[in-house]
Structure 1
Amino acid sequence: MTLSTVPVIAGLTLKEAARRKVLRSLAVLTVLLLALSAWGFWRLEIEFGTLTSGESKLAASQVLNLVMFGLSLIAALGTAFLAGPTVSGEIESGVALAVMTRPVRRSAVLAGKWLGLVAFGTGYIVLTGLAQFLIVLATLGYWPPHPVEGLFMLAGQTTVLLTLGLLLSTVISPMASGIVSVGLFGATWIAGVVGQVGDELNNSSVAAVGEISRMILPTDGLWRAAMHAFQDPGAVEFAAGFGASPFLSMVPTPLAYYGWAAIWAALILGLAALSFQRRDL
């Protein structure tokens, strides 16, 4: 009963996400960002006539990473504000009480909702990411060296954030859980930039800010792994003498970090299940 419940709840969560106003807002923001990026890359292609090969690769890599960060931010906003109403919103409306009167475990319901949100976030990342790659290919003739790996990392980033949103939604209101999730997402990214500056200045104390933040919330670490997959290797070598850039990842992410991100998500999902189990409906 429990195993068969999970895919059913996942499907219902996907349908519910498709009906929410958040999805329409996501669609509008995405279309605007893709349109602006197409215009920006077109203008960049015109300027390439005065740039060297190294400069053109550096410009293409940085602008692509900038746009992909915008898409990841839209995905973060969408999944965070979709995850919030998934638990606390249904509890407040009484929907959860109606579901729980049946022989269905709360852990199975939560797992189904998590799976549905992961499918939603991953689908969004893949579709919009491929659309952006095609825009870059059409305007600049550039294709990222490891697109699948990069999109997988962005999907992982989205999964981490929505898992956190699910945990928060079991203890606070839907709006508050979304705001806190997005706020932590932004704070972690800023801490990562600060840590990158510390690396450039050889200041271990400042660099530790980024390292610690990436362990507490793995979103920025996965984002930097995605950047490294999207950018041209020659751009990194060319940029070495220009100092730190928030839209270039100078070193690859250790494989062990991916394992930590998976363990982190599993622990947070387990805490969410425990919190949901103990919450009064």
Structure 2
Amino acid sequence: MLTMIGITFREGLNRKVLLISLVLAAIFLGLYGTGVHYAAKSFNESPNPMLASVVYPQLLSFGLYFGGFIVSFLAIFSTVGAISSEIETGIIQAIITKPLRRRDYVLGKFLGLGLFLALYSAVFFTVIALIINLKTGLVLEGQWKALGLFALQPVVLLAITLYGSVVFPTIANGVVMFMLYAVAIIGGMVEQIGWLINNAGLQQAGIVTSLVMPVDSLYRKIVHLLLSPADNPLNALQQMGPFGSMAEPSVWMVVYALLYVVFFTGLAVYSFNRKDI
């Protein structure tokens, strides 16, 4: 299995999708850093502490939200054909005839890609946090826990996309996974609106979508970890808008996300063991 993990990790580094993702990340971080710089410069020239205490957290939420989108883009595209493409091209025939159990093949793929995506996410989160801290002086509470959850987001997508790569053709898998991710994002915004206007129906709809795909719930938990000190009277203003989190997801949602990863990884192993190739 260790050999499979190493091969998969190196494949992740050599994929063209990584280059595309790095270009998108560089463009985004460049624009984001420029925006934060000029926002901070404006507040330095015309001090308004109360407005700054609302705007700076909103800028952080914005960066983490779209940073998560880029990381998710990489997770889906790097995994969508992890197994199905090797089946379609016939490469799998040369791999499974070697003394490598099918279980080890799937788990090697998962662990290799998971390590690659977690490292990429950790670096992305760290850069965003540094930009905010250096430019605005905003102190981030719970940033280590938040970093762990940010790195967990692509691993959640990895687990279900890897399962999809076993049971669906590559293109179909990509379509299904993007639809699920879109449902999670839209559901998160719907739930946020529900909490804003105190609408129980919208809140419940958001909770249901978070059970189908818990990525957005992890993001909302991250925002609360970073921006919700108990003594902050402006917390409600900071959490308003599509990038905030009016209601903090419970720790059980994090547990659910971890179980979600274990379940779909196990299902991928089970399905691949039974698959006729």
Task: Classify the TM-score, shorter chain.
Answer: over 0.9
Do the aligned partners of residues 28 and 169 (structure 1) sit closer, same or farther apart at CA in structure 2, a change above 3 Å counting? same
Q: Distance in 1 between matches of 2:209 and 2:47?
A: 37
For 1:44, the equivalent position in structure 2 comes to: 39
Q: Is the 8 A contact 2:61 2:244 kept in 1?
A: yes
Q: Is the 8 A contact 2:55 2:238 kept in 1?
A: no
Q: Is the 8 A contact 2:72 2:157 kept in 1?
A: yes
Q: How far is 1:174 from its partner?
A: 2.0
Q: Does 1:69 align with 2:71?
A: no
For 1:245, the equivalent position in structure 2 comes to: 241
Do the aligned partners of residues 172 and 236 (structure 1) sit closer, same or farther apart at CA in structure 2, a change above 3 Å counting? farther
5+ long unaligned stretches in structure 1: none
Q: Distance in 2 between matches of 1:84 and 1:242?
A: 36
Of 90, 112, 116, the residue aligned with 2:112 is 116
Q: Does 1:30 align with 2:25?
A: yes
Percent sequence identity is 28
TM-score, with structure 2 as normaliser: 0.93
5+ long unaligned stretches in structure 2: none
Deviations 1:125-155 (A, max 9, x none): 1112112222222221224212211111111
Give the counterpart letter for 1:75 in structure 2: V
Deviations 1:71-124 (A, max 9, x none): 111111111111112100111122211111123211111011100111011100
- Mean Cα deviation higher: 150-159 or 129-138: 129-138
Q: Does 1:278 align with 2:254?
A: no
Q: Does 1:233 align with 2:232?
A: no
Q: How far is 1:242 from its partner?
A: 8.4
Matched position secondary structure for 1:86: coil
Q: Distance in 1 between matches of 2:64 and 2:196?
A: 24
- Mean Cα deviation higher: 14-23 or 251-260: 251-260
Q: Is the 8 A contact 2:85 2:170 kept in 1?
A: yes
Give the counterpart letter for 1:16 in structure 2: E
Q: Does 1:17 align with 2:12?
A: yes
For 1:198, the equivalent position in structure 2 comes to: 194
Q: Is the 8 A contact 1:65 1:230 kept in 2?
A: no
Q: Matched residue pairs, number?
A: 276
Q: Does 1:212 align with 2:204?
A: no
RMSD value over aligned CA atoms? 2.0
Q: Distance in 1 between matches of 2:10 and 2:175?
A: 23
Q: Is the 8 A contact 2:79 2:165 kept in 1?
A: yes
Q: Is the 8 A contact 1:83 1:178 kept in 2?
A: no
Q: How far is 1:51 from its partner?
A: 5.5
Q: Is the 8 A contact 1:80 1:177 kept in 2?
A: no
Q: Distance in 1 between matches of 2:180 and 2:241?
A: 21
For 2:125, the equivalent position in structure 1 comes to: 129
Q: How far is 1:182 from its partner?
A: 2.5
Q: Is the 8 A contact 1:150 1:230 kept in 2?
A: yes
Q: Is the 8 A contact 1:110 1:273 kept in 2?
A: yes
Q: How far is 1:16 from its partner?
A: 0.8
Of 236, 260, 273, the residue aligned with 1:264 is 260
Q: Does 1:160 align with 2:168?
A: no
Q: Distance in 2 between matches of 1:215 and 1:236?
A: 30
Q: Distance in 2 between matches of 1:176 and 1:144?
A: 40
Q: How far is 1:196 from its partner?
A: 1.7
Q: How far is 1:32 from its partner?
A: 0.6
